[in-house]
């Protein structure tokens, strides 16, 4: 299998999303012990969908609300956070250019806080690590500037 390079900033690319992505399995695979007490509030995917996306650089002190405003400035929309898994499969080797955030806070943790998915790599790691963040927290503790994954309309 050919390993694809992660697209440059602001360069459109396509990803395939299917109904095989389970939002609670994402939580479980990220290592959360209490994954079965999470709730997914987002829309389910029906069948297979191919959509166009783009990565946008955002600053380290931005909020999720501000990330959504930036998305609108690019005449894009926030994609389903379920796209995290197809992205990691399509681009399995991190490029060292910072975390990637998906501003979809459709996951409710056991404390009833909304969370969004992100993924990252540290110190030349050759595989992505992923997790969920409280949607009210600033993105600043995601180790510098982030990239925002947006869906083109």
pLDDT for res 144: 60
pLDDT in tens, the chain (153 residues): 566 899 999 999 999 999 999 999 999 999 999 999 999 999 988 999 999 999 999 876 678 888 899 999 999 999 999 999 999 999 999 988 888 999 999 999 999 999 999 998 877 778 899 999 998 876 655 656 789 999 999
pLDDT for res 146: 86
Q: Terminal CA-to-CA distance of the chain, rounded, Å?
A: 30
Distance CA 26, CA 106 (A): 12
Distance CA 19, CA 32 (A): 22
pLDDT for res 138: 65
Contact present, 86 and 17 (Cβ < 8 Å): yes
Looking at residue 145, the DSSP 8-state letter turns out to be -
Confidence (pTM) = 0.92
Contact present, 125 and 38 (Cβ < 8 Å): no
Structural tokens at position 20 = 């095989």
Distance CA 129, CA 88 (A): 9
Backbone angles phi, psi at 134, to 5 degrees: -60, 130
pLDDT for res 27: 98
Summarize pLDDT for 78-108 with one digit per residue, the tens.
999 999 999 999 999 998 888 899 999 999 9
Long-range contacts formed by 66-73: CB under 8 A, 24+ apart? 67/101, 67/103, 67/139, 67/148, 68/103, 70/148, 71/103, 71/148, 71/150
Looking at residue 117, the DSSP 8-state letter turns out to be E
């Amino acid at each position: 299998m050919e390993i694809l390079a992660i697209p440059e900033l602001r360069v459109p690319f396509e990803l395939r999303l299917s109904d095989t992505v389970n939002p609670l399995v994402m939580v479980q695979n990220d290592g959360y012990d209490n994954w079965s007490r999470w709730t997914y509030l987002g829309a389910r995917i029906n069948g297979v969908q191919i959509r166009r996306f783009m990565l946008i650089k955002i600053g380290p002190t931005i909020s999720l609300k501000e990330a959504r405003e930036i998305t609108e400035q690019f005449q894009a929309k926030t994609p389903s956070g379920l796209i995290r898994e197809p992205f990691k499969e399509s681009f399995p080797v991190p490029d060292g250019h910072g975390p990637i955030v998906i501003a979809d806070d459709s996951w409710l943790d056991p404390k009833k806080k909304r969370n969004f998915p992100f993924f990252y790599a540290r110190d030349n790691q050759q595989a992505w690590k992923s997790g969920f963040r409280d949607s009210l927290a600033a993105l600043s503790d995601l180790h510098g500037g982030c990239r925002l994954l947006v869906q083109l309309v």
